[in-house]
Structure 1
Amino acid sequence: MGVLTVGKVLRFDEVRGYGFIAPETGDEDVFMHANDLVGEKYLYQEGSVVEFFLEMGDKGPKASNIRLVHQSTSHQLPRGGLAARSAAPAAGDGEVSPADEFAQELTEALLDSVGSLTGDQIKRVRACVLELAREHGWVAS
């Protein structure tokens, strides 16, 4: 394994499965591939802070074992709850629904607070909480 490094995702194309990370050291951008992600692809978006092992690939610097670095303030709800937050436009395909935004934030919060949950457990908890939020009108579909 290479050197543990921190950086920000410059861009990541979920469909193609690759992107680039700008290391905080200011060195050359690092190639990232979906096969090296720890977690679901949709969580890795432009500006996400990640830690990874920096290795030299055939074509230059390459990241492996890429993990999101979560800031605890990122999970605080805005005043008025989720309904007060407007959906941010997604790259190239309209708007992100409040339900999708809620599901993403919930996933990140679960990963932060209970690191021992499996992916399947997180999906089941997320589905249950999302359904509850919809029933109460806390989040629209």
Structure 2
Amino acid sequence: MACLLASWQVIALYVAPLLVVNIWLVIYTWLHHTDTDVPHLADSDFSFMRGAFLSVDRPYGLILDFLHHKIGSTHVIHHIAPGVPHYHAKEATLAIKKSFPKAYLYNPTPILNALWHVASNCIAVKREEESGRYIWVNEKH
């Protein structure tokens, strides 16, 4: 009986929080680096800066944005200038948005809707003949 109780304590105190944190990190990372607007680049087209701009800023609501120091809505700057501290990330994001309006990606879609959109539309990529970049294939359209 003591062994069974200890097993449940390990699951409750270690395994469950570990699973929650890892699931959250996967969702967070997936949504910042995957969207129908984010192409995949061929080696010949890739550069550090082009790759850095191919991530998406997303808001995660007041509570999560506060708890995570707005890393969700200031994620692009994390790739462009990783040394910018979180307390300057909003200011730096505004500067990036103003300086590079065509390259900066922001998606205000609520997280559950964004998860569904990405999961159902970002399944596979195909190479565009004219540009050589890889775009998401959406079989439904």
TM-score above 0.5, yes or no:
no
TM-score category (smaller protein): under 0.3
Compare the two structures and name the one with the higher helix fraction: 2
Q: Which has the higher contact order (CA 8 A, sep 6+)?
A: 2
Q: Which has the larger radius of gyration?
A: 2
Compare the two structures and name the one with the higher strand fraction: 1
